[in-house]
Amino acid sequence: MPPPRYHLDRRVLLLALLLPSLSPTYAPVPPGPAAAALLQALGLPDAPRDAPTSRPVPPVMWRLFRRRDHQEARAGPRRTPPGANLRPCHVEGLGVPGNIVRHVPDRGAAARPPEPSSAAGQCPEWTVVFDLSAVEPAERPSQARLELRFAAAEATAGGWELSVAPAGASPGPVLLRQAVPTLGTPVRAELLGAAWARNASTPRSLRLTLALRPRAPAYCARLSEASLLLVTLDPRLCHPLTRPRREAEPAVGGSSGGACRARRLYVSFREVGWHRWVIAPRGFLANYCQGKCALPAAMSEPGGAPALNHAVLRALMHAAAPGAAGLPCCVPARLSPISVLFFDNSDNVVLRHYEDMVVDECGCR
């Protein structure tokens, strides 16, 4: 059964854009319609308009990227066991389904005045605002983790209690209460199922009122940073892997007269001008298929993709009567995903996973 048309069209579009005017080893992508089509192939409506404001990439996003990205894992130290295959559409570092992870900063921080130290019983409340307008309707949330960092406060024997409620003119119902034993580490709270229903679509904006009360007389803590780690699953970009990824290295260049096989093709984000908002990787090995499918090349090499019986029959017919049937074509037989870490137009740090972006094996079809 052929792969879904959505994935086929994306692969063909990407390779068709890159192949005609390139050397076989390096692929700068010209600006204009080609870059716009590549953005569409990556599932992005447009590139960020301006360079993002300078802010560090959260360590959790680096960890998730390095664990998920296949080419990063192969280039650096072993982060996964040899031969291990990552589960498709699953964020291993968080243990939830998903192929898009967003680190969303608090937009309400700029409006908060400095907080003086105050006695217990008079602790302030904070309003946090998260812009979620970039989430598409087709995405299904699987985790919404609120992460809070507080300035140093006096330790208290009873700890603290965190409460989260909807922000508004009148006090709303408390969505969750959570005991906080210490403020020495980030305080995390799961909002999915509390701030909005698990089976509901993601809201365009999330405004919450936070309160942290000491359970024993002590000075109040001060909120220094708030963020939301949102994991979603886009089913349009998700399909199961059929067999483990091979570690074979594609050939560098080569003439079209050789046997059908994968050839090396590197796509550079700097050449497209996207290096200002694409954090990692700097590029990726897209590769492409090239070579003859006449006998005996139509037969698969040991360890390669199995040749279809139809391709072998066409090659036999062409050898016997060249005008009776054309040769089969050299096409991708095995593809693997990439992960891209980037800033979006809302200055969120986004980790997005794309299936079928790297040609690992080619075959005659």
pLDDT score for 8: 36
pLDDT score for 241: 54
pLDDT score for 261: 85
In the 8-state DSSP scheme, what is residue 243? Answer: S
Separation in Å, CA 131 to CA 5, 128, 142, 342: 33, 10, 18, 17
Task: State how far the Cα of 254 lies from the Cα of 341, in Å rounded to an integer.
Answer: 32
Token pair belonging to 130: 């998260």
Separation in Å, CA 86 to CA 64, 70, 81, 105, 308: 12, 9, 10, 29, 27
User: What are the pLDDT tens digits along the chain (365 aa)?
Assistant: 444 433 334 444 444 444 333 333 444 445 566 667 667 666 667 776 655 566 789 999 999 998 876 555 444 443 444 444 567 788 988 999 999 999 999 998 777 766 655 554 578 889 999 999 989 888 999 999 999 998 866 666 678 899 999 987 676 789 999 999 888 889 999 999 888 887 788 889 999 999 988 877 777 888 999 999 999 998 887 766 544 445 555 665 555 567 788 899 998 888 877 888 889 998 888 899 988 776 665 555 554 555 556 556 666 665 555 666 667 788 898 888 888 998 888 889 999 988 888 999 888 87
Would strands 26-27 and 266-268 be described as parallel, antiparallel, or unpaired? Answer: parallel
pLDDT score for 341: 92
Question: Is residue 281 reached through a cis peptide bond, with omega within 30 degrees of 0 on the bond before it?
Answer: yes
Tell whether the torsion through CA atoms of 6, 11, 14 and 19 is positive or negative: negative
pLDDT score for 270: 85
| Phi and psi angles of residue 130, each rounded to the nearest 5 degrees, phi first | -120, 125
pLDDT score for 103: 96
> pTM of this prediction?
0.75
Task: State how far the Cα of 320 lies from the Cα of 8, in Å rounded to an integer.
Answer: 32
pLDDT score for 3: 41
Long-range contacts (CB closer than 8 Å, 24 or more residues apart) made by 114-121: 115/220, 115/222, 115/223, 117/219, 117/220, 117/222, 118/219, 118/220, 119/217, 119/219, 119/220, 120/213, 120/214, 120/216, 120/217, 120/218, 120/219, 120/220
Cα-trace Rg, the chain:
26
Query: Which neighbouring-strand residues pair with 353?
Result: 339
pLDDT score for 168: 78
pLDDT score for 346: 81
pLDDT score for 257: 62
Query: Which neighbouring-strand residues pair with 339?
Result: 353
pLDDT score for 216: 75
b/e per residue 174-207 (b: at least 16 CB within 10 A): ebeebebeebeeebebebbebbbeeeeebeeebe
Task: State how far the Cα of 226 lies from the Cα of 108, in Å rounded to an integer.
Answer: 9
